[in-house]
Amino acid sequence: MYRALENLSVRRLDKYRLEIRRQPPMLTCGVIYANARIEKDLKDGNVLRQVANVACLPGIIGPSLAMPDIHWGYGFPIGGVAAFSLDGGIISPGGVGYDINCGIRCITTRISMRELHPGVEDLLALLYSTIPSGVGSSTRGFRVGKRDLLDVLANGSRWALKQGLADREDLEAHEDGGCMEDADPEAVSERAIERGLPQLGTLGSGNHFLEIDVVEEIFDEDTARIFGLFEGQTVVLIHSGSRGLGHQVCDDYVHAMLSAGIRSGIELPDRQLACAPISGSQGKAYFGAMAAAANFAFANRQIMTHLVRQTFERYFSSSWERLGMRLLYDCCHNIAKKETITWDGRRIQACIHRKGATRALGPGDRRLPERFRKTGQPVLVPGDMGRSSYILAGAPGAKETFSSACHGAGRLLSRQQAKKLGRGRSILDELKGRGVHAMAASRGTLAEEAPDAYKDVAEVVSTITGAGICRAVARLKPLAMVKG
């Protein structure tokens, strides 16, 4: 069942792209978006091999892709993008990831940094006490019963709208309106439901965060105006996902698909690429369960948005509407979606896996809300705790990546390596020295997420914009954050 690849042949196509030449059993080539600086971080070759491994999977359309924030992941690399035909192609839990629909949203405000700055630590403490974070972070979650949870799995942020936790403009600023239509709650195991019941409205741990930023620089005035951005503005980023429920869904189907792949005669270069035909019963069941977990994540981030708005209302003694707390956009990171793509001049129905990558729809795309049709989709690219984040816009060149872009800075060090490097250091004091206030449920998480564990997000962004996939709109500077 497992057939290993031999030595890879890699060449540079241009300033922003590398190619892994096709060799058996690869069905296509690999393309990595990487400038010369990022290329140096790929020297051990393991993550390149993951890109090549994906190129071996049945039904792949076009190249196996990787964004500039690429790093090693389970099966697919994080930063990996691949499209598979709905007719003869596969779906793989490793191509989505364990944190299904881990994603990020940006909430804009009318509040200037000058208005916020004197009391930013007090506001941070209030946010920390309001929104549960940490590994379990379930004791103060937004409690629901099983019937409501099944409604969440079916309807995502539409459920939050019915509960008064969102407005219609919020839903327009979600991918898919905050609900994947093909969700099948019945395909979600009882164990996954048990894990999800206490975790709605919770941040979680690892790289999940809630961050207060200031818009430090505007690169595209016209697009920024449409996005509602201005220099010196306070914005809030929320990065979280489907929590224990999504993790359990992935775990359940990884094990089930190992045997399903054998029955289908699929040869794999790596057992972590466990997959099944997307048109088969196992593939359909996973897609339905994954979509349900994605809907949980949409609702989870929307509940936290409601809690953030309530916290700002208490702190500023004003309504969130008067404070201008508008959802700019909510981007999915770990997801598989059925989309119509054009490849080799043909319109093809495909399942696009984006693992640690975000959709980046270009101008004119009918899937976008009317206000973004001229600009392209807002693409949110968070950095590490001590450096900038970016707001981009999808550009016409994104067609070559199936409308996909980077999702963050990308790790340089594993979590274990980062913790080792952090011994004897106070990451909190180091961040404060940079003018960044932080609160965390665990000091271990701070060490794992230290700025030097990540690539320079500016290099990642300059690669994706240089390649014509996105345009830069604004750069954000972190002021304060809650880490899980």
The rounded Cα 318 to chain-centroid distance in angstroms is 32
Question: 103-251+275-483 — its CATH code?
Answer: 3.90.1860.10
Which tens digits make up the pLDDT trace of 124-174? 999 999 998 866 555 455 779 999 999 999 999 999 999 999 999 999 999
pLDDT per residue as tens digits for the range 402-438: 999 999 999 988 888 888 877 878 888 888 888 899 9
- Output the pTM of the full model: 0.96
Answer whether the bond into residue 25 is a cis peptide, omega within 30°.
Answer: yes
In DSSP terms, which residues pair with 20 in a beta bridge? 10, 30
- Identify whether the C-beta of residue 98 lies closer than 8 Å to the C-beta of residue 251: yes
- Domain range summary for the chain, segments of one domain joined by +: 103-251+275-483
Q: Which residues, 6 or more positions from 286, have their beta carbon under 8 angstroms from its beta carbon?
A: 91, 93, 187, 253, 256, 257, 276
Per-residue pLDDT of the chain (484 residues; tens, 9 = 90+): 445 566 899 999 999 999 999 999 999 999 999 999 999 989 778 999 999 999 999 999 999 999 999 999 999 999 999 999 999 999 999 999 999 999 999 999 999 999 998 889 999 999 999 998 866 555 455 779 999 999 999 999 999 999 999 999 999 999 999 999 999 999 999 999 999 999 999 999 888 999 999 999 999 999 999 999 999 999 999 999 999 999 999 999 999 998 877 777 888 999 999 999 999 999 999 999 999 999 999 999 999 999 999 999 999 999 999 999 999 999 999 999 999 999 999 999 999 999 999 999 999 999 999 999 999 999 999 998 888 999 999 999 999 999 999 999 999 888 888 888 778 788 888 888 888 999 987 777 788 888 888 999 999 999 999 999 999 999 999 999 998 7
Q: Which residues are marked as active site?
A: 407
